[in-house]
Amino acid sequence: MPLLVTEAQAATWTGRAGATIRTWAHEGRITRHGSGRGRVRYNLWELPQRTVDDDGTVTLGPPPPLPAQRHAA
């Protein structure tokens, strides 16, 4: 079952900008749920989680894979 989150929450989870989240959805890497400003949600389980080490170093997870026959934007 999807755990739907806002763009801001998705950006925090991944450590990436909201524009990156939107790009991934446009490319088909992740699923966009809903439409319209402020009503779009993303499935948290499709997003790579950032990690933060004890010293505060942030490591980003790899981007979700492109679907077959798609090219990066």
Instruction: Indicate the number of domains in the chain.
Output: 1
Segment 1-30 shows an average pLDDT of: 97
- Is 13 within a domain? yes
- Is 65 within a domain? no
pLDDT value at residue 18 = 97
pLDDT value at residue 16 = 98
Range of the domain at 15: 4-59
What is the pTM for the complete model shown?
A: 0.88
Number of Cβ atoms within 10 Å of the Cβ of 1: 5
Instruction: Provide the b/e sequence for 20-57 (b: ≥16 CB within 10 Å).
Output: ebbbbbebebbebeeeeeeebbbbbeebbeeeeeeeee
The strand ranges marked E within the chain are: 4-5, 32-33, 41-43, 51-52, 58-59
- Is 11 within a domain? yes
Coil vs helix vs strand at 35: coil
pLDDT value at residue 38 = 85
